[in-house]
Amino acid sequence: MYGLKAVVIGAGMAGLATAIALRQAGYEVDVYEKTSKIRPAGAGISLWSNGIKVLNRLGLGEAVAAIGGQMNRMEYRTHKDDLLNDIDLIPLMEKVGQRPYPVSRTDLQDIMVNAFGENNIHMGMRCVGVKQDEQSATAIFEDGSTATGDIVIGADGIHSEVRSYIAGPTGTRYADYVNWNGLVDIDEDLPAHDSWVIYVGEGKRASMMPVGGDRFYFFFGCPKPQGTSTEPEEIPAELAGIFAGWAKPVQHLIQKLDPQQVNRLEISDLDPLPQLVKGRVALVGDSAHASTPTLGQGGCQAMEDAEVLCRYLVTTNISVEDALKRYEAERKERVADLVLKARKRTDKIYNKVPKETQEWYEQLKYESPQDVTDAIAKVILGGPFR
Ligand SMILES: Cc1cc2nc3c(=O)[nH]c(=O)nc-3n(C[C@H](O)[C@H](O)[C@H](O)COP(=O)(O)OP(=O)(O)OC[C@H]3O[C@@H](n4cnc5c(N)ncnc54)[C@H](O)[C@@H]3O)c2cc1C
């Protein structure tokens, strides 16, 4: 179909990727964002090759490569710093045809906002409802104003308003752990600058992965009941307590990090939805399939959503509703599968059943690097670009 008008709710990576793709297809696109300044939830993100391939297709490949870390290896180590597994990622790249890039989220956001154009992002516009008729779909905003198009796309994150229009009330599910993350400059007391190192033990993990600008994106994870909080200045003491006795680079990281820049997040996900679309209204990104971040696929799936949604709108011509149904049919199973896989992995990492976590530690010791990269390749090659 040609000449469509799209209204996109939310200017996170899902909304921006979708908006850029639809604009490149020749559609008129406006993005509406509830905040007055977009602030990504988290410091860094690993964009695996399936996400990067979509960015390549959008013409952003070189820009993303310029902000990406050179992640050539992946190392699992015990919390006492014994090597469990050392995995060369080059064979993975050769298999899937594209390097993954861990990036700083603000760098990524700058690229995406610039690519779409700030002027078409309407800030301070909280969507509070959606309606549609046979010819159009309309988003309704808190201030009483409306935006009408041929299609409304909900890219409004895990607590999506558009989702309630499509799927009714859907609560999120607390994953029983807290994640702390941020960025630090690389130095000689931290791991090698081309390695993603993951320390595991005691049902917790601490990790560093290289992003552009000679920095590590770091994250810590530990099981915790819901509702805990810590003032930023107390975060180093909190982490020092939780990770007492862990490897030297972990201790150095805790001393080095800037607590004012650390994000402390209670992690939740979403049960797979029975539907991702209703008539002329569709969900993309976390609004459709928020996941625990243990496969590094949430944002990559948002990119895939953008690509597949755009592809059906452009290449079919029965109706918008028909194109959205095709989008749903292609995406529903894939995103549900990855949400549930990530959930399972989360439980294993964070000691839900201690025996299974211990077995996983043993498995890490004996698993062949090729098995690890084959499993990652399978996820990557399940996307729209093989
Ligand atoms: C700790 C952590 C680590 C992660 N690591 C990775 C990783 O390594 N790799 C990976 O691929 N994924 C990762 N993810 C997942 C990834 O961050 C998300 O999948 C991705 O950010 C989702 O983007 P989104 O645009 O759908 O949602 P969001 O980024 O949440 O954006 C939604 C936007 O909509 C706006 N909005 C919300 N409600 C409204 C409304 N009513 N009206 C208007 N605007 C609204 C919000 O303000 C926001 O700007 C991680 C997630 C977490 C929490």
Q: Which CATH architecture has domain 5-172+269-381?
A: 3-Layer(bba) Sandwich (3.50)
pLDDT at 276: 98
Residue 210 burial by CB count (10 A; 0-12/13-18/19+): exposed, middle or buried? buried
User: Ligand 1: which residue has its CA nearest to atom 20?
Assistant: 299
| Residues 161 and 67: beta-carbon distance below 8 Å | no
**What is the pLDDT confidence band of residue 179, given thresholds at 50, 70 and 90?**
very high
Nearest Cα residue to atom 36 of ligand 1: 156
Q: What's at 77, amino acid-wise?
A: R
Count the Cβ atoms, other than its own, within 10 Å of residue 261.
13
- Give the DSSP letter of residue 58: T
User: Comparing C-alpha atoms, which of 52, 62, 65, 45 is closest to residue 98?
Assistant: 52
Give the domain ranges of the chain.
Answer: 5-172+269-381, 174-268
Span 321-331, pLDDT tens digits: 999 999 999 99
Nearest residue (by CA) to ligand 1, atom 16, is 299
pTM exceeds cut of 0.95: yes
Mutation pick for ligand 1 pocket among 7, 13, 305 (CB with most ligand atoms within 8 Å): 13
For 187-242, what is each residue's pLDDT tens digit?
A: 999 999 999 999 999 999 999 999 999 999 999 999 999 999 999 999 999 999 99
What spacing in Å lies between the alpha carbon of 287 and ligand 1's midpoint?
Answer: 8
Q: Which residues line ligand 1 (CB under 6 A)?
A: 9-15, 32-35, 38, 41-42, 45-46, 51, 126-127, 155-157, 161, 179, 181, 265, 285-287, 293, 296-300, 302
Q: How far is the CA of 41 from the centre of ligand 1 (A)?
A: 7
Separation CA 156–CA 38 (nearest Å): 12
Cα(110) to ligand 1 centroid in Å equals 15
Q: What ligand 1 atom has the least distance to the C-alpha of 126?
A: 42
> Does residue 253 surpass a pLDDT of 90?
yes
pLDDT digits (tens, 9 = 90+) for 317-355: 999 999 999 999 999 999 999 999 999 999 999 999 999
* Confidence label for 42 from pLDDT (cuts 50, 70 and 90): confident
The answer on pLDDT for 40 being more than 80 is no
| CATH 3.30.9.30 given to domain 174-268 | yes
Query: Would you state the pLDDT for residue 149?
Result: 98
Is 61's pLDDT higher than 80? yes
**C-alpha distance from residue 230 to each of 22, 236, 262 (Å):** 41, 10, 11
Pick the residue whose CA is nearest to atom 17 on ligand 1. Answer: 299
| Residues near 78 by beta carbon (within 8 Å), at least 6 away in sequence | 84, 199, 200, 201, 247, 361
Mean pLDDT, rounded, of the chain:
97
Name which residue sits closest to atom 37 of ligand 1, judged by CA: 156
